[in-house]
C-alpha cells in the first residue's frame, strides 16, 4: 500500500514537472521604457509621472511606460544594461551612469531649478543649531546614491571638518527624502538632510509639522537632477524627446499640471560638463575612486 502511494506520488510529481515545462514565451513590445531614481515613495513617483508620460507618448508617437524601482543603483544598472531607455537621475547617479556606460549616456534636459539646487539640514532637537552641534548625534542621510541626500551634504560636512563615520554616533540611510523627514520627526534620528525641493513640497502640503522639525542650515548651490537617455537610442527619438521637454510651458493650461507635478518652471538643455563638479565632489568625499 505504501509503495502504491509512493508510485502515485511520483507519477504526480512527473505530471507536475511536465506541465511546468509547457511555459508561455513573452514577446517584446515597441515602447519607450522610463524610470526614475526612487528619491520619493514609488507611488508618489508614479502619480507625478502619469501626465508627463501621456504627453511624451503623444509627442514621440510611441507608447511610454513607467518602470517603478525602489533602488537608486538599480536604475543606473538598468540604464547601463539597456533595460530602460530614459531615466530621471540625480547628479551623482548621472555620474555613475556615465561611468558605467563608458561615457555614452546623454543628459537631455534639466529643470531651471536644477542649475541651482540645494539641500536642507533638518532636526527636531532644539540644541542643534549648527554643524558643530551634530557631533555625537545620530544622523540620517537619504540613499547612499543620492546627490542632495548624501553626496553633497557629506562633501559640505567634510569641508566643515566633520567626518560622518567618526563624528556622528550612528550614520543611517533612510533610503528616500520623505523617509528622512519621517526619521527625524519620529526621533529615530537626531538630525538629517534632504533635497530642498522635497522639503518645500512637504511643508507646502502640510505633511510635516514645522513646529517640531525645522531647517537649521542650507547648503550652497550645485547642479542636480536631469533626464538622461541611453547613448544608443535612435537619435530621432532623442531629438523628439528633448524638443518635447523644451516645449513645455507652465502658462499653457495643458502643460500646467505636468509642470506643477515635476516642480519645474521650465526645462532647459543640459550637458555632461555641468556635472563635473559633482564628480569632483564625489572623489573628494570618497564615494568614487
Asked whether 153 and 196 are in contact (CB, 8 A), the reply is no
Q: Hey, which residues does 109 pair with through a beta bridge? A: 227, 269
- Taking CB under 8 A as the criterion, which residues in 236-265 touch other proteins? none
Q: Using the rule CB under 8 A, is 179 a contact of other proteins?
A: yes
Site string for other proteins, 68-97 (x = CB under 8 A): xxxxxxx-xxx--xxx------------x-
Q: Using the rule CB under 8 A, is 31 a contact of other proteins?
A: no
Measured from the CB atom, the residue of 113 and 190 that comes closer to other proteins is 190
Cα–Cα nearest to 35, from 59, 65, 58, 61: 65
Of the residues 29, 30, 43, 235, which one makes contact with other proteins according to CB under 8 A: 43
- Min CB(270)–other proteins separation in Å: 23
Q: Which residues contact 264 (CB under 8 A, 6 or more apart)?
A: 111, 112, 113, 248, 250
- Min CB(20)–other proteins separation in Å: 5
Cα–Cα nearest to 208, from 178, 242, 168, 166: 178
- Min CB(260)–other proteins separation in Å: 21
Site string for other proteins, 102-141 (x = CB under 8 A): ------------------------------------x-x-
- Dihedral angle over CA of 88, 210, 215, 40, nearest 10: -20
Of the residues 147, 148, 174, 270, which one makes contact with other proteins according to CB under 8 A: 174
Q: Which residues contact 245 (CB under 8 A, 6 or more apart)?
A: 108, 109, 227, 267
d(CA 29, CA 264): 31
Under the rule (CB under 8 A), what is the footprint of other proteins?
1-16, 18-20, 22-26, 41-43, 67-74, 76-78, 81-83, 96, 99-100, 138, 140, 143-145, 170, 172-176, 178-179, 182, 186-189, 287-289
Amino acid at each position: 500500500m505504501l509503495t502504491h502511494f509512493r508510485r502515485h506520488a511520483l507519477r504526480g510529481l512527473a505530471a507536475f514537472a511536465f506541465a511546468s515545462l509547457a511555459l508561455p514565451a513573452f514577446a517584446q513590445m515597441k515602447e519607450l521604457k522610463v524610470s526614475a531614481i526612487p528619491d520619493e515613495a514609488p507611488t508618489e513617483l508614479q502619480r507625478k509621472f502619469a501626465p508627463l508620460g501621456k504627453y511624451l507618448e503623444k509627442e514621440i508617437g510611441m507608447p511610454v511606460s513607467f518602470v517603478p524601482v525602489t533602488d537608486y543603483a538599480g536604475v543606473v544598472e538598468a540604464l547601463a544594461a539597456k533595460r530602460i531607455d530614459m531615466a530621471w537621475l540625480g547628479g551623482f547617479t548621472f555620474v555613475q551612469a556615465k561611468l558605467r556606460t563608458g561615457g555614452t549616456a546623454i543628459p537631455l534636459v534639466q529643470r531651471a531649478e536644477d542649475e541651482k539646487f540645494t539641500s536642507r539640514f533638518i532636526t527636531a532637537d532644539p540644541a542643534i543649531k549648527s554643524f558643530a552641534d551634530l557631533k555625537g548625534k545620530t544622523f540620517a542621510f537619504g540613499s547612499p546614491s543620492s546627490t542632495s541626500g548624501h553626496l553633497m551634504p557629506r562633501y559640505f560636512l567634510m569641508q566643515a571638518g566633520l567626518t560622518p563615520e567618526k563624528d556622528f554616533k550612528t550614520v543611517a540611510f533612510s533610503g528616500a527624502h520623505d523617509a528622512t523627514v519621517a526619521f527625524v520627526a519620529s526621533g529615530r534620528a537626531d538630525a538629517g538632510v534632504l533635497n530642498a525641493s522635497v522639503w518645500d513640497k512637504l511643508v507646502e502640503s502640510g505633511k510635516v509639522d514645522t513646529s517640531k522639525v525645522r531647517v537649521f542650515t542650507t547648503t550652497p548651490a550645485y547642479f542636480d537632477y536631469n533626464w538622461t537617455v541611453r547613448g544608443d537610442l535612435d537619435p530621432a527619438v532623442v531629438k523628439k524627446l528633448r524638443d518635447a521637454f523644451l516645449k513645455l510651458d507652465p502658462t499653457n493650461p495643458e502643460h500646467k499640471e505636468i509642470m506643477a507635478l515635476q516642480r519645474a518652471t521650465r526645462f532647459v538643455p543640459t550637458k555632461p560638463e555641468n556635472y563635473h563638479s559633482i564628480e569632483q565632489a564625489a572623489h573628494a568625499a570618497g564615494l568614487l575612486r
